Amino acid sequence: MSGIGKDIIVRDLAEKLKGMGSLIITDYRGLKVKEMADLRKRLREAGIEYEVAKNTLARRAGKESRIEGIDQFLLGPTAFAFSKEDPLASAKILTAFSREYPALNIKGGVFEKGTLDPEQVKLWATLPGREELLAKVAAGFKSPLANLVFSLKGIITNFIYALEAIKEKKEQ
């Protein structure tokens, strides 16, 4: 590959590193072609880009994008999972996939320019995702409002019963 081609790859990789929400670094050695295609499909459906990169080019891109500490993960075959939207999604998908296919090895990750070891990535995978947190917040808002509505309904119902009782008493 020519120097110009490598420079383009480094620039492209550096741009992705700068624009990421999170990055999970994996070793895909031992995965069959069908398994790799399945992994890419799962990640793509979640809006995550999965890219294989040469370690030397990845080191250069890391320096260019000023991300410290990824050199420690750049040994052996390396693939990057870039997530822009939900930083936990890639950790969840890759951790689940590595349980299903142990050949996939999670080397580590990067979040907000700080590195994560493999255990921290797996811990991330246990955290509730964005959608789940939003649902819990919505439920938290809904619960007091529902209680208020039921309380007001009870007050209004009791008020109506009281008015009917007064009406019946006056009619007698």
- 93-148 pLDDT, tens per residue? 999 999 999 999 999 988 876 788 889 888 888 877 777 777 777 777 667 766 76
How large is the average pLDDT for residues 149-157? 74
CA dist 15 and 20 (Å) reads: 9
Predicted TM-score of the model (pTM): 0.69
> What pLDDT does 4 receive?
72
For the chain, how many helices (H) and strands (E)? 6, 5
CA dist 127 and 95 (Å) reads: 12
CA dist 61 and 63 (Å) reads: 5
> What pLDDT does 3 receive?
64
Higher pLDDT, 147 or 14: 14
> What pLDDT does 165 receive?
78
Contact assessment for residue 17 and residue 67, using Cβ atoms and an 8 Å cutoff: yes
Q: The tokens of 62 are what?
A: 């890391």
CA dist 63 and 172 (Å) reads: 92
